[in-house]
Amino acid sequence: MNIVANLPVLVIIIPLISALLIPPIGRLNRTFSWYVAISATFLSFLISISLLDTVMANGRISYRLGAWEPPWGIEYVVDYLNSFVLVVVSFIAFIMTVYSKKSVEKEIERSKIPFFYSVYVLLVTGLLGMIITGDIFNLYVFIEISSLAGYTLVAMGKKRDALIASYNYLILGTIAATFILLGIGYLYMVTGSLNMGDLRERLPMLYHSKVVLTAFAFFTVGLSLKLALFPLHIWLPNVYTHAPSVVSAVMAATSTKVGAYVLLRILFSVFTVEFDLHSVPITKILLLLSVLAIIAGSVLAIAQTNIKRMLAYSSVGQIGYIVLGAALANQLAMTGSLLHILNHALMIGALFMVVGAIAYKTGIEEISGLKGMGKKMPLTMAAFTVGSLSMIGIPLTVGFVSKWYLALGALEAGMWYFIPVILVSSLLTAIYFWRIIESIYFGSAESETGHADYALVHNPHPVFGNRGDAPLGMLIPTLLLASLCIVFGIAAFIPVSVATQAAVMLLGAN
Amino acid sequence: MEMIELILGKYNYWIYIALMMIGFYATIAKENLIKKIIGLNIFQTAVFLFYISIGKVDGGTAPILWDKAVLYDNPLPHCLMLTGIVVSVSTTAVALALIIKIYKAYGTIEEDKILEMGEEEKTPTPGSWPQGSR
Amino acid sequence: MDIIQSAKPLYAIAASLIAIVPIGISHRRPNLRETWTILASLVKFSIVASMFPVIFSGKVIEYPILTVLPGLDIKFRVDALGILFAGTASFLWIVTSFYSIGYMRTLKEHAQTRYFIFFAATMAAVVGAAFSANMFTLFLFYEMITLCTFPLVAHKQTPEAIRGARIYIIYLLGSSVAFQLFAIFLTYFTAGTLEFSRQGILSGKGSDVLLIIIFILFIAGIAKAAIIPFHNWLPAAMVAPTPVSALLHAVAVVKVGVFTVLRVIFFIFGTDLLHHLNLSTIMAYFVSFTIIVASVIALTKDNLKARLAYSTISQLSYIILGAILLTPSSMVGGIVHIANHAFSKITLFFCAGSIYCAAHKTEVSQLSGIGRKLPWTMTAFFIASLSMIGVPPVAGFVSKWYLALGSLEAREIPILVVLLASTLLNAAYFLPISYKAFFEEPEKGYAGNSHNDDTHGHSDSHGHGDAPHEEIREIPMIAIPLVITAIISTLIGIYPDYILSLARDVLK
């Protein structure tokens, strides 16, 4: 069997089979479940790199499942956009798996740990599948796989609030997925095809048709919920706050990004730019929503006292950037949007891993509990500082790179008024992050708010094991992502070249 | 005449829309968690019906190989919806499992009562789950 | 104009950056740790100084580092303006390092390692800014300076220090992100590049309205130049230890501000474009407002450091005034004031610190008769005051002379009046201090009257033990630096040619 030729499907099969194998293996030895998870995610990562490499050398890869011809068979397509997002997601998934061991031991019941890893790997399978598939119904299946895995993982959080968060997420997520299913149905109805490439060719003559418009509407709404675009973001804060730390980290760094990827695919590869600009004023709607997301996310983040919730609202804002870039629909802005998929994944991944490390070491989840943490967990806090500076958009960090492209894209589109939005939100971001940095390093004895000991009073676990940084297993992945925030901020040309190619492809002829 | 044709001729769509709205309403408006799930099911079933109904070909017979058949209905939507039903069942299963746990944790499955109970203050230590076995 | 490739700019920056590691490691051995700082400052200055001859011969040194994004390069170029600034700053760092040692040890300050580390980092960023070849690199170092000086401003970690540091960063980060970055986006989009060029990069590109907007955004975005109303961070930063106020907020940070403004004026817009846009006069009046109002506020301040801070705000606008009048003499006057003001102002701040360390006094009203106890300090103070006022033969006179000539060349008599008025105001808030110090009688129970303010510990370097009043004496480690800077202020007033020719080089 030719492995290389079958890589596109192996990137899914390996995690899928591993997910099935983990529970029985975990029965024998709990740690083995972690090893299998690591191997699966690592192999997927390697395959993603290989696919990216192939795409860069040879162009688009088209893979037929079971050698059935499209549009009757399911086709997997790997192009610049896909492979880029595949690498990002599989990399994050792998790093998070390495990170997860200690965190999971502390936050999840021991007997459930193998099941945790099984569902976790299923989540990864679903996400990778969403990215790589070229068949629209296959997309729905993978959306549901990743969503169901997500609901389960979230529900494993410590407090009972996790259950409610998961339930609400389930209801909203299922409605959204069903909308997507409806959209698929309408498209199938008028074209008879489920293959994305095929649809792209058949749809243009149907652009005027109400059926197509309805399908488009259902898609957009359903996907907007998945990627938590304001105002369909309401499930996100509770989910990120109450889920186990690793789950928040992984979902924040990947799920919404993959949702964004799917939206881009539908908007630009199935439908085309012409449709988006002329048939439906979707770009204008998305522009408006993205601005609302950016502002609302930043403002709401300032009001939070729980770190995870603050990061959740911050994410809502950052997703706004991605959509803004896509909706501006020119090459510079789209490049920025795609870059932000990588950059935000790195930043928020690092930040959530820091929060998880703090929770692991001290149980603290309130911002007020972070006073003076700079001395107790210096390296972890350094990672937090780097991530924060990157979010604010200091030059030489990845955050700056995304904003640079978005700003230039806005100017290119003649819509300079988006630049103040980006800049103001950077300042708002600075407010809620700098507040924490100040507290971490310069935490003064008196606190103006009187919340000084709230965390300690309400937290039954006083600071234990406090003279020490996070354990190495958690520290190294965190530092790795944090340093990548700088590496790709300086050596930005690596992701930029891929993102630019992907942007050109999305916006131009296929 | 056109109106009648619109209503009678496309009755499958009307039925599916009605069902979808009923399900949607139930999901959103009902307080009881189980009823919400039921609503969700109705909602999803409506979509299944929609898919299958569009696969009907005038004069076609069930898509099973039969030598006396001239025209078949489109079998693809049926297959797609088998997958859809599987997804729906899985979702329902996860949801019901969640509801059982919610009941154990909160003592109620009415949404308004749960909201009243507010966010939990204490973080339970792992291994000593407060509401019995999980 | 010849361009020479040399990695010296990078080495100059790296000198202090590398020093951070040994400083941190020598955490427990203060003498060793301080040696690293001194060594770094000496090395830095010598590298900068070694480039002087090249620049004097009319050449320019360049050194590209890398391209971050298309159009965004990190690149160094050493030209006359840059080396003037870098030379001043790095030389004064040597002096300040000694001063810091004296100051921090006299007061037995905490977190000294952190202090010296961030000081070194800041100086690396300052030299980086001086040697930036394009606006992106400059912006990068500009922001680095803000971030690296934050721990220095917040050093004391008292509630007021934290409050002051917060105002500091809100003003600096807020204005640079909201306005300067916007201006950079617009500049890049309009001009296609961010490289500094003597002819400016914006002429002929974009409408006049757009260019004026870009200019306004730049001015608003460079709050480090402390133009009113973007000045509040400077008085707020006075909560920092005095060496920080001296080097950073009299020399380095504020000079980066005006330096950036000068880069924008000369190397992004260019004198021709500014003439065309008629911005010269309006801007001149705008900064004149700062010059006068800041001096008036200085009159009302009793706290010595606050008075010096407002004096700085006023003097910085001299530099901008000189540049924006766009006449040969005024521009020279503005540029040389970068160096002249630096040496004089640092002397004044050093004196303030000396007074604080020796006598624990912070308010002008407490300074009666202190000249007798601290003769060196107060004499240096007097000399530096003369420089601020603009009396020959001290440095400040040279700048004022050229500025006055420049305003005549520009036929702006009101500006001349502004200069005269501010000279009088400077006299009004500086001379009384010297008078008080030398000619007034000390307050009753003077020797050792230190219950008034917020000091902790009767510390002096002579170990007098528990006498209820301590002797007020000059502390050598503190007094020597300020005497040196006072002497230099005088020397460059008497022999200004070196600096003047450098300033003229900028404009060729």
Q: Is residue B131 part of a domain?
A: no
DSSP string, C446-491: -TT---SS---S---TT---S-SS------HHHHHHHHHHHHHHHH
CB-based contact A226:A181 (threshold 8 Å): no
Does the structure show a pLDDT above 60 at C457? no
Cβ contact, residue pair A109, B120, below 8 Å = no
Q: Which of residues 450-489 of A touch B (CB under 8 A)?
A: 458-461
Looking at the complex, does the CB of residue A406 fall below 8 Å from at least one CB of chain B?
no
As for how many domains chain B has, the answer is 1
Q: How far apart are CA C27 and CA C113, in angstroms?
A: 6
CB-based contact A160:B131 (threshold 8 Å): yes
Tell me if the bond preceding C375 is cis, omega within 30° of 0: no
**Mean pLDDT of the C365-369 span:** 83
The bridge status of strand C60-69 relative to strand C3-5 is parallel
CB-based contact A442:A70 (threshold 8 Å): no
Domain positions in chain A are 292-510
C-alpha separations of C100 from A47, C21, C85, C104 in Å: 57, 19, 21, 6
Instruction: Give pLDDT tens digits for C209-242.
Output: 889 999 999 999 999 998 888 898 998 888 888 8
Q: How far apart are CA C371 and CA C376, in angstroms?
A: 8
Does the structure show a pLDDT above 90 at A46? yes
**Mean pLDDT of the A483-505 span:** 90
Looking at the complex, does the CB of residue B116 fall below 8 Å from at least one CB of chain A?
no
Query: What residue has token string 């008028």?
Result: A190
Closest by Cα among C298, C238, C342 to C433 = C298
Does the structure show a pLDDT above 90 at C136? yes
Q: Is residue B92 part of a domain?
A: yes
Does the structure show a pLDDT above 60 at C465? no
Q: What pLDDT score does A467 carry?
A: 53
Nearest by CB: B84 against A151, A181, A188: A181
Residue type, C451: H
* Cα atoms found within 13 Å of the Cα of residue C420, Cβ hemisphere only: 9
Closest by Cα among C425, C463, C468 to C106 = C463
Q: What pLDDT score does A448 carry?
A: 42
Residues 6+ apart with CB under 8 A from C154: A438, A442, C161, C162, C164, C165, C239, C240
CB-based contact A256:A228 (threshold 8 Å): yes
Mutation choice for A interface testing from B36, B91, B128 by most A CBs within 10 A: B91
Q: What pLDDT score does B129 carry?
A: 37
Chains with at least 3 CB pairs less than 8 angstroms from chain A: B, C
Q: Is residue B10 part of a domain?
A: yes
- Sign of the CA dihedral with B48 first, then B50, B51, and B53 last: positive
Instruction: Give pLDDT tens digits for C378-387.
Output: 899 999 999 9
C321's tokens: 């005034």
Give the strands of the sheet with C60-69, arranged side by side: C3-5, C60-69, C72-78
Closest by Cα among C125, C88, C118 to C100 = C118
Instruction: Give pLDDT tens digits for A235-266.
Output: 999 999 999 999 999 999 999 999 999 999 99
**Residue C199 banded pLDDT, cuts 50, 70, 90:** confident
**Mean pLDDT of the A224-230 span:** 91
Averaged pLDDT score across all residues of chain C: 86
Cβ contact, residue pair A490, C136, below 8 Å = no
CA distance B39 to chain A (A): 10
Q: What pLDDT score does A246 carry?
A: 93
DSSP string, B61-85: B-SS--TT-S-B--SHHHHHHHHHH
Cβ contact, residue pair B120, A107, below 8 Å = no
Closest by Cα among C475, C497, C304, C301 to C385 = C304
Q: How far apart are CA A222 and CA A245, in angstroms?
A: 26
Instruction: Give pLDDT tens digits for A263-311.
Output: 999 998 888 887 877 778 888 899 999 999 999 999 999 999 999 999 9
Q: Nearest-5° angle of CA A81, CA A82, CA A84?
A: 70
Instruction: Considering only CA atoms, give the Rg of chain A.
Output: 22
Looking at the complex, does the CB of residue B109 fall below 8 Å from at least one CB of chain A?
no
Which of A130-134, B29-33, B125-129, C153-157 has the lowest average pLDDT? B125-129
Averaged pLDDT score across all residues of chain A: 88
Nearest by CB: A106 against B80, B94, B126: B126
Q: How far apart are CA C497 and CA C500, in angstroms?
A: 5
Q: How far apart are CA C92 and CA C338, in angstroms?
A: 13
C89's tokens: 């700053």
**Residue C440 banded pLDDT, cuts 50, 70, 90:** confident
**Residue B132 banded pLDDT, cuts 50, 70, 90:** very low
Cβ contact, residue pair C173, A395, below 8 Å = no
Q: How far apart are CA A311 and CA A433, in angstroms?
A: 10
The bridge status of strand C72-78 relative to strand A75-78 is unpaired
- Span between the terminal Cα atoms of chain C, in Å: 10
CB-based contact A30:A83 (threshold 8 Å): no
Does chain B touch chain C (at least 3 C-beta pairs within 8 Å)? no
Domain encompassing residue B15 = 2-121
Looking at the complex, does the CB of residue A360 fall below 8 Å from at least one CB of chain B?
no
C183 to chain A: nearest residue by CA? Answer: A419
Q: How far apart are CA A86 and CA A88, in angstroms?
A: 5
Helix/strand/coil percentages in chain C, nearest 5: 75, 5, 20
Does the structure show a pLDDT above 50 at C460? no
Does the structure show a pLDDT above 90 at B109? no
Chain A residues in contact with C68 (beta carbon < 8 A): 395-396, 401, 489-493
Q: What pLDDT score does A1 carry?
A: 59
Q: What pLDDT score does C470 carry?
A: 59
C-alpha separations of A479 from A361, A438, C429 in Å: 16, 20, 53
Does the structure show a pLDDT above 80 at C450? no
C-alpha separations of C410 from B38, C240, C271 in Å: 84, 40, 13
Instruction: Give pLDDT tens digits for A318-335.
Output: 999 999 999 998 899 999
CA distance B27 to chain A (A): 8
**Mean pLDDT of the C296-302 span:** 90
Structure-model confidence comparison of residues C454 and C335, the more confident one:
C335
Nearest by CB: A137 against B43, B80, B114: B80
DSSP state of A298: H
Percent of chain C surpassing pLDDT 70: 94
Q: How far apart are CA C167 and CA A302, in angstroms?
A: 18
Q: What pLDDT score does B120 carry?
A: 57
Nearest by CB: A493 against C67, C143, C158: C67
- Record the pTM: 0.89
Chain C residues in contact with A412 (beta carbon < 8 A): 189
Q: Is residue B132 part of a domain?
A: no
